[in-house]
A and B are shown apart, each in its own frame.
Chain A
Amino acid sequence: MLVRARGLRKHYGSLEVLRGVDLTVRRGEVVVLLGASGAGKSTLLRCVNHLEAADSGEIWVDDVPIGFRHEGGRLHELREADVARQRADIGMVFQRFNLFPHRTVLANVTEGPVQVRGVPRREAEAYARELLARVGLADKVDTYPDRLSGGQQQRVAIARALAMRPKLLLFDEPTSALDPELVGEVLAVMTELAQEGMTMLVVTHEIAFAREVADRVVFMDGGVVVEEGPPEQVIGAPQHERTRSFLARVTA
């Protein structure tokens, strides 16, 4: 089991976003989180790499308690600098790409390996060029992000995450900010990654992607997991009324 979340609770003021969520992701598995906006999917995802701290509950990634140090039968909260080391093994792709606008495409991808892992620059650049070629952007290495289309930026962002050789990739609505004609190129890269055996936890509204690529679909509503299972079951034959009405709305 690569990811194990247990009893996650999180609230903003009086709003309870997560109300006791359990989630598991096996190594090499692709899990898609579905649900209406406000269901708590993104918050759950952001708890996995501790961009948000849950109020209670635990998240273990590869037997490491995220945000904590396990000692003497207790979990001790970690300082930000120590959490950073745990995050290095967990890649994340954001809705709004969040590429570094002051660095070239190549520098965006080498930044993590060089600055965080201490990989020699030449080695990092060679691997970055290889990754950029894989996402179809070999000719854009010296370009600045603002010269790229949204789809190209998102593919650079995926290469930036992969450059850290992560155990797990988190996708937070990776195609929601894209023009419709650019969604396909990003989903194609994600599908390829899934086929290569990358462990992925994906928040998306692309039902077709979930149906074809996901090993398991988790449907959330109101801060809890309503149902989960293989896509043909959750999307094909949903058991719960809330899942059915959600699917009816997004596929209409």
Chain B
Amino acid sequence: MADRAGAALTRPVDAPGDSELLPQVRIRHWGRWVAGLAVLAVLGLLFQAISRGDIDYASIPDLLTQDVILEGLVDTIVLAVIAQAGAIVIGTVVALMRTSANPVLRWVSWAYIWVFRGLPVLLQILLWYNIALVFPTFTIPVPFTDAYLLDQPANVIMTGFLAALLGLGLNESAYMAEIVRAGLTSVDRGQTEAAKSIGMGPAKVLSRVVLPQAMRVIIPPTGNDFINMLKGTSIASVIGFTELIHAANALSSRSLAVMETLLAVAVWYMVVVSVANVGQYYLERHYNASIRPVGTRGSVWAKVGGSLRTPPFMRGSR
């Protein structure tokens, strides 16, 4: 059967004269219509189910701007940004040690990554948070005097914020080290040689030639990690740090509107993550500038608008 249909495609037919072109019948994309209708049906059922549920949607907008929730939002963002920034700095240093000619530095950086990537983040946060059990006071003596640069009970210093920052940041720094190392090794050796040949020392070779090119490889996974970090701060709720999840729990334990509060928090996570996505897009575009065809430059909104102008089901039939 298939053979006969196939044969029909290659059987010679009477070719028309050269008077005029024949009208052409385009393919009908039935699959797209069927898929579209199926999705609409499922969404309809879902909407119906959700609207019948025992939940007070109208209260969610108010919950979004509750003081506790906003405090949690700010703490989440501050913790994620500082932890990620610190991780990028430490990770870059560790990656440079890892690719260094100095065998001692290579070994130390390997061990650093091994420990901080190997232990679960939750465990690392708990270890930092409970460090007072091992070291009741933190002291930094000034050498050759009786004075102290720092002399404080560990409980005062090791707040929930600091424990979460150390746990999340140091764990992430081990991942950043591997990301930066991948970026550094992705740059062709010829680039380093060319930079050396015009008299650049190691610092200039790195900052002017290798790192700018490594950025193209470093940024996408770093953006990925930052989005993970934004959500990963929720783990700090176990030590009572008031990030979004802890704020939601605090609020709903009083109001008992558990699902409403959780959904309000979900909205904030999506907003923050979406903003991070846009930031990543611009960073990537900046570092791709020299290899990107001029025509594809333009704002995100122009791109989104462009793709919406022609509805997907229209494209095949034009």
Give the B-binding residues of A (Cβ under 8 A): 49, 51, 80-81, 84-85, 87-92, 94, 96, 98-104, 111-112, 115-117, 144, 146, 157, 160-161, 163-164
CB neighbors of A among B186-233 (8 A): 188, 190-191, 193-204, 208-209, 212-213
Nearest Cβ on chain A to B76's Cβ, whole angstroms = 35
Interface of B is mostly: helix
B291 touches A101 (CB 8 A): yes
A88 to B198, CA, bound (A): 5
Residues of A within 8 A of B198 (CB): 87-88, 91, 111-112, 116, 160-161, 163-164
A164 to B195, CA, bound (A): 12
Given known pairs A100-B209, A102-B212, A111-B208, the reply for A84 and B193 (CB within 8 Å) is no
A104 to B291, CA, bound (A): 11
A199 to B223, CA, bound (A): 50
A9 to B196, CA, bound (A): 22
A98 touches B199 (CB 8 A): no
* Total residues of chain B contacting the partner, CB 8 A: 22
Q: What 9 A-B pairs are tightest by C-beta distance, nearest first?
A: A88-B199, A112-B198, A98-B194, A92-B197, A98-B190, A81-B201, A84-B201, A116-B199, A144-B290
A84 touches B190 (CB 8 A): no
Residues of A within 8 A of B193 (CB): 51, 92, 94, 98
A112 touches B190 (CB 8 A): no
Nearest Cβ on chain B to A218's Cβ, whole angstroms = 21
A115 touches B196 (CB 8 A): no
Nearest Cβ on chain B to A96's Cβ, whole angstroms = 6
Residues of A within 8 A of B213 (CB): 100-102
Given known pairs A101-B290, A115-B204, A116-B204, the reply for A84 and B196 (CB within 8 Å) is yes
A99 touches B290 (CB 8 A): no
A85 touches B190 (CB 8 A): no
B290 touches A103 (CB 8 A): yes
Residues of A within 8 A of B291 (CB): 101, 144, 146
B200 touches A115 (CB 8 A): yes
A249 to B202, CA, bound (A): 42
Residues of A within 8 A of B201 (CB): 80-81, 84-85
Question: What are the interface flags for B159-201 relative to A under an 8 Å C-beta threshold, 1 for contact and 0 otherwise?
Answer: 0000000000000000000000000000010110111111111
